[in-house]
Structure 1
Amino acid sequence: MIRAMSVASAQPRPVFDLPAAYPEMGRVREALQAADWAGARAVIEAAPDPAARTMLVGFAADTDGIELLLREALDRDPGDALAGAVLGGHLVRTGWDVRTGARAGDVSAEQFRVFHDYLRRAEQVLIDAAARNPAEVSIWCQRLTSARGLQLGLSEVRRRYDRLAAYDPHHLPAQSQLLQSLCPKWSGTWEQVHGFAYERMLAAPKGAHNAVLVVTGHLERWLDADGGPAGAHYLGSPFARNQIYEAAARSVWDPGFRHTYGWVWVRSSFAMIFSLLGDEPAAAAQFAALGHLASEDPWHYLGDHVQVVTDRRARAYAKAGAR
């Protein structure tokens, strides 16, 4: 315990703010706070790949008070694909904030009414944006989330994903959204979850981030077991362990793994699942690669994400022999 405390005290406080890892997000935030859509749009347009662009769109959509700014942008240029994607995403996220992440049985009828109202408004924006810009994958990715929230069914979610995948078959943000729709809590099955995650891992190049889908699928199943003894028993099963370590070999342990957009979430996910498995050396290696950075997801499943990361990191370093 003393050793763990000394290790913890030597470590910097984990930083969860996305611009700390992806500086362009800070520039998007500053532009939006200054009501400068043109400036924000220029940063998003300069993203190095479609997945990065979708992440920047999602980050922009989380900004408070931007609906009027984006509607004015669309009034000036109805074909502005990124304004449509960000506004649609903003409406989806506003609605989800009302719904909260609680289980359906714990959400009130009024919350559901407001939630669905926001999602229907988002759909209107996104349908028009997709019709004008069918190749803009960030629009289709937002439509995956709205379809899940409106419970349009797996066939419709799959149709939207297939439209996106025709332009970018390894688009991890969209694959993550589809994976959520495949979970039993959204009327899918665990067989669909694990099948899709494993399939997309194998389809992606070695070293790609996509293998994290396998980890996400197993964490969802662990969470479904309330993260207790049943969840621990599941993660320790040969099926789960073998897939998790295969996923690590194809991503964070592969020399081709790159710290491109999304890497903090990927390494954080592996750090958490290795910690849950009790593999402290493997967890410590991910913490070391992360340095002072961390992502709130999936650590928030364990409680206060700041304290959880601080404690789990100290334990991993102590048990792995870190000095």
Structure 2
Amino acid sequence: MPRPLAPPVFDTAAAYPQVAAARDALAAGDWPAMRAVVDAQDAHGRTVLVGGVEDAADAETFLRKVLAAQPDDPVAAAMLGAHLIRAGWRIRTAQRAQDVSREQFAQFFDHLRRAEQVLIEATARHPDDAAAWTQRVTSARGLQLGQAEARRRYDRLAARHPHHLPAQSSLLQQLCPKWSGTWEKAHDFTRECTAAAPPGAPNAVLIVEVHLEQAFDHGTLSAARAFLRGQQVRAAIHDAAQRSIWHPEFRHGWGWVRVRSTFALAFCLMQEWTSAAQQFAALGDLGDESMFGYFGDAVAQFQRFRDKAYAKGGQP
């Protein structure tokens, strides 16, 4: 009999204990402890931590107090910007623009403009700070500043951090048609990032992300499946897997849970159940919302696809 499956754990702290340490420091109002955790990470890790603790109660009040005392603190600025952006996006919701009320948009833009004020100064003081620039790529999209401005911000970041996946994923959203981009631009960007990344790097997941975005744009699940099973799309996703999750140099560093979760979803929709089951097995009890939320409740959908992958592809 197969072992019972625990619900997936989507909390980033389960995969990255540094997130729990940062949250504890923020909850305790211990800024030196927070800085010690963040400063020990690489650029990817700093960006995750900056965006991973912004929902803490009274975070805005505390972070503004830190900034008032230490105006040059890049972590406090980036974290405050991330907090405001996230709060604004919760108000806006993930609905299409036509389904968002005028009042929601007004509050959304207010939050993002306040974030911009903080982040513009942060990147002026610290032009090499990947976390702050990543937030500015996201805020450019929300404020509808256009393709050129979003790309300008990304290019400023990429000049110092050429393989920064969080910023690449954010810009990819901007390049999709739903944010006034084109599929040609979106695919060109993912190929550019994938080709430039080192062997075994996680960046090839961008190829999967853009194909999933285009698949879901077809409107129905059956049409999405048919698109992903097309010969050229399947070959592109397999090549992306060879460059990342199937490559011997792939490591479980920052972002690995999202990468494997995204590939697992793609393999399920492609009906490549053995490959999907392998990704779910590598995840263990961990998971990432990734794009599972496109079908409804992300946890329920993750479980549904995982159960089917194990039933058809084999459960370890």
Q: TM-score, normalised by structure 2?
A: 0.97
Q: Is 218-227 or 252-261 further displaced after alignment?
A: 218-227
**What corresponds to 1:264 in structure 2?**
257
Query: Between Structure 1 and Structure 2, how many residues are aligned?
Result: 316
1:14 and 2:8 matched = yes
**What corresponds to 2:203 in structure 1?**
210
Q: Is the 8 A contact 1:41 1:82 kept in 2?
A: yes
**What corresponds to 2:19 in structure 1?**
25
Aligned letter for 1:26? Answer: A
Q: Is 99-108 or 11-20 further displaced after alignment?
A: 11-20
Aligned letter for 1:170? Answer: H
Aligned letter for 1:27? Answer: A
Q: Deviations over 1:236-293 (max 9, x none)?
A: 2222111111100100000100000100000000000000110000001101111111
**What corresponds to 1:319 in structure 2?**
312
Aligned sequence identity (%): 53
Q: Is the 8 A contact 2:190 2:204 kept in 1?
A: yes
Q: CA deviation at 1:38?
A: 2.3
2:53 match: secondary structure: helix
Select which of 137, 143, 153 maps to 2:136.
143
**What corresponds to 2:162 in structure 1?**
169
**What corresponds to 2:188 in structure 1?**
195
**What corresponds to 2:94 in structure 1?**
101
Aligned letter for 2:229? Answer: G
Pairs within 5 Å for 1:39-54: 39-47=33-41, 49-54=42-47
**What corresponds to 2:28 in structure 1?**
34
Aligned letter for 2:148? Answer: S
Greater relative contact order: 1 or 2 (C-alpha under 8 angstroms, separation 6 or more)? 1
2:291 match: secondary structure: helix
Pairs within 5 Å for 1:79-158: 79-158=72-151
For the residues of structure 2 that align with 1:199 and 1:122, how far apart are their CA atoms? 29
1:292 and 2:285 matched = yes
Consecutive unaligned residues of structure 2, counting only runs of 5 or more, are none
Q: CA RMSD in A?
A: 1.2
Q: Is the 8 A contact 1:37 1:70 kept in 2?
A: no
Q: Deviations over 1:48-83 (max 9, x none)?
A: x11111111110223342011111111111100110
Q: CA deviation at 1:227?
A: 4.0
Q: Is the 8 A contact 2:277 2:314 kept in 1?
A: no
Select which of 273, 284, 299 maps to 1:280.
273
**What corresponds to 2:228 in structure 1?**
235
For the residues of structure 2 that align with 1:128 and 1:150, how far apart are their CA atoms? 17
For the residues of structure 1 that align with 2:121 and 2:225, how far apart are their CA atoms? 46
Q: Is the 8 A contact 1:182 1:193 kept in 2?
A: yes
2:290 match: secondary structure: helix
Aligned letter for 1:160? Answer: R
1:10 match: secondary structure: coil
Consecutive unaligned residues of structure 1, counting only runs of 5 or more, are 1-5
Q: TM-score, normalised by structure 1?
A: 0.95
Q: Is 309-318 or 68-77 further displaced after alignment?
A: 309-318
For the residues of structure 1 that align with 2:50 and 2:217, how far apart are their CA atoms? 30
1:61 match: secondary structure: coil
